[in-house]
Amino acid sequence: MFFSKSTDALIAKQQNETIRIETWGNNALRIRVTQNSEFTNDNKALCPAVSPAEISEDNNGAVIKNGKIRCIVSKTGWIEFYNRDSLILKEYYRDFRDANEHSPSMNFHAREFKPVSGSDYNIITRFEAQKGEKIFGMGQYQQPNLDLKGCVLELAQRNSQISIPFYISNKGYGFLWNNAGIGEVMFGLNYTQWNSKLSEELDYWITADDTPKNILENYTEVTGRAPEFPENVLGLWQCKLRYRTQDEVLEVAREYKRRGIPLDVIVIDFFHWIRQGDWSFDPKYWPAPQKMLDELKEMGVRCMVSIWPTVDRKSVNFREMLDKGLFIRTERGSIQCFDYQGDTVIYDALNPEAREFIWNKAKENYYKYGIDMFWLDEAEPEYCAYDYEHYRHYTGPALKVGNSYPKAHAQAFYEGMKSQGQTDIVNLLRCAWVGSQKYATLVWSGDIKSNFTALRDQLSAGLNIGIAGIPWWVSDTGGFYGNVNDEHFNELLIRRFQFSTFCPVLRMHGDRGPHDIPNLSDLDYGGGFSETGRPNELWSYGEEVFEILKKYLNIRFGMKDYIKSVMNEASRNGSPVIRTMFYEFPNNEICWNIDDQYMFGEKYLVAPVLYQGVAERGVYLPDGNWKNIHNGQIYTGPQKIIAKAPIDIIPVFERC
């Protein structure tokens, strides 16, 4: 192994492999390994953040240090990391060159580069497992596991699955797999293995620090932080599948006003257009958008519209976009990518010209009326078949770059809105990647079932995506796929509404069956073509449910200043809005094991009811005094209590 150094980097070479380790942010290092002649110039998810390094070399190898993190590269080329003097991560190998290792004759290497074509490789890298390690983050996966140790995760975007490959370990470090390609990670009990199916180089980033809050601050320093959250959308968002006409939208908004219930946002869902890719209102059902927007504005209601990235072959924009090469390409056969209610292709958000095109259409057909919020649905993008080998983007094959699509899609609208001078930006997306937060991305957890199993999954999903750097997160209140005739639906709706009250955004949405409402048109296109769901407003489920929902909406209104302060903290240092218990109490070992309660900012401990028919539940209260917000009773922690939770109560305790 031959070593050299520069101001900010340690370079190690052996045979055809080159390792480059450089300082990158506070207490952090970026590590790249290539078997090509040179490294790429692509920072991928990282913003430039290079600082001077401390580098030394002796007979055993070389050392690079940046603040609290220290990396050792041995003479045989293997890498290990320390938080000060504590080992935090070490490559996994069983190699005859290291006689002190067990089973050296296995000749099992930490890094594998399997040639695919040209300069691309299937890259595998492995790290030693540590006894007692816990792993959190990685985006959003539909499972109840908060601690991901022992899990196998697909590194790919799907409807309701979000790959953001950053995690925090209880061993005092954070790790980013700086790769937008399709792959897999296995957090095994024997070793951790990362696999990228198509990459030019191995690329990851690691930081070491004293607390999860410090680690997340270091991470968001180099990937970006959310902007200031608009104060006028901290209340209720009203949505359903789907408002079909401007009269339906106005009737709902007027009814909220008549009942004296403030409404911050009303959302117009899909097929308000004629065909996918028109990105405009169907004039038959939306004849006077400006008049509608003027009345909504007078009522203090902002309007959001759904925009899909899909383009029907019969869309008014298809031919121009095809000729300009603005679509995701298929490697074989038809260019069709998506087959829901049309023969469609998908615009390529990784193409700057395509991003400009879709924003200009949105500006021309929506923004001019005063619509300044966009629901960027299908943002993974959703394919009719998740055959990632079949698709190619402007910047390369989907296997290599595809996971960054939702971030680029968000970028198109954020930068377009910023160019118009708008500052109160928030757009709703069903997917995200590393750094999406800096483009004012509010992520929702996708098209999930209306049942308690999905509710349990959403708690872990929301907490882990916050650890991965996305502070603005929401799930469909009541779930997406649900039938109002289900005997347990109202119970579920109440429990989900209570949970949503103590989330970044409170949004009513869902596809409410049974679907027995006739379509407005017998045609196979246009704004009257698609079905709609049952009513989904606060008063749609009977007076008893209505009173409970109003109670929690009023609780949220009373917390507006506090919620704003928590949102501001997310912008300032990257902290999640909903937080794992260990995030606020990192020195409490019990808090590292709790996965069914959370902190809403630093002040409120929330213990949601996650199971059907439950009327009480255990709650762990850490050190300090805790006041039950419902009856004022004060408890002194640490202790575990049994909290009453009848249908109108979610156990919440204020830190005092």
How far apart, in whole angstroms, are the C-alpha atoms of residue 32 and residue 193? 16
DSSP of 526-592, one letter per residue? STTTS--PPP-SGGGG-HHHHHHHHHHHHHHHHTHHHHHHHHHHHHHH---SEE-HHHH-TT-GGGG
Distances (CA, A) of 345 to 97, 181, 312: 53, 21, 7
Q: How far is CA 512 from CA 269, 453, 462, 507, 531, in A?
A: 14, 18, 23, 15, 11
Specify the 3-state DSSP secondary structure of 608: coil
Distances from the Cα of 422 to the Cα of 234, 357, 621, angstroms: 18, 19, 42
In 3D space, the residue among 278, 329, 334, 272 whose CA is nearest the CA of residue 305 turns out to be 272
Of the listed 128, 154, 255, 447, which one is catalytic? 447
Among 308, 172, 236, smallest CA distance to 554 is for: 236
How far is it, in rounded angstroms, from Cα 150 to Cα 129? 10
What whole-number distance in Å separates Cα of residue 560 and Cα of residue 558? 6
Whether the CB-CB separation of 478 and 494 falls below 8 Å is answered with no
Phi/psi of residue 175, nearest 5 degrees: -135, 130
- Could you give the C-alpha distances from 589 to 134, 150, 426, 622, in angstroms and in order? 11, 19, 37, 10
401 three-state secondary structure: helix
310: which 2 tokens? 């899909």
With CA atoms as reference, report the closest residue to 442 among 350, 502, 501, 504. Answer: 504
Catalytic residue among 377, 382, 457, 511: 377
H helix or E strand, kind and range, residue 14: strand 9-14
* Cα Rg of the chain, angstroms: 26
Active site residue 447: yes
Q: Which of 592, 591, 621 is nearest to 605 (CA)?
A: 621
Rounded-to-integer distance, Cα 549 and Cα 606, Å: 17
- Residue 289 per-residue DSSP state: H
User: Would you tell me how many other CB atoms lie within 10 Å of the CB of residue 50?
Assistant: 13
Tokens for 6, please give them.
């520069």
Written as six digits, the tokens of 336 are 């069709």
CB contact at 8 A, 614 and 456: no
Q: What is the spatial distance between Cα 276 and Cα 253, in angstroms, rounded to a whole number? A: 26
- The C-alpha angle 11, 17, 19, rounded to 5 degrees, equals 30
Measured distance CA(460)–CA(473) in Å, rounded: 12
> Omega of the bond prior to 262 within 30 degrees of 0, cis?
no
Q: How many Å from the N-terminal Cα to the C-terminal Cα in the chain? A: 58
Active site residue 377: yes
| DSSP symbol at 108 | B
Identity of the amino acid at 222: V
Q: Which of 380, 382, 476, 596 is catalytic?
A: 380
Helix (H, G, I), strand (E, B) or coil at 128: strand
Please return the burial class of 190, using the count of CB atoms within 10 Å of its CB with bins 0-12, 13-18 and 19+.
exposed
Q: Using CA atoms, how far apart are residues 389 and 197, in angstroms rounded to an integer?
A: 10
Among this protein's residues, is 217 annotated catalytic?
no
The catalytic residues are 377, 380, 447
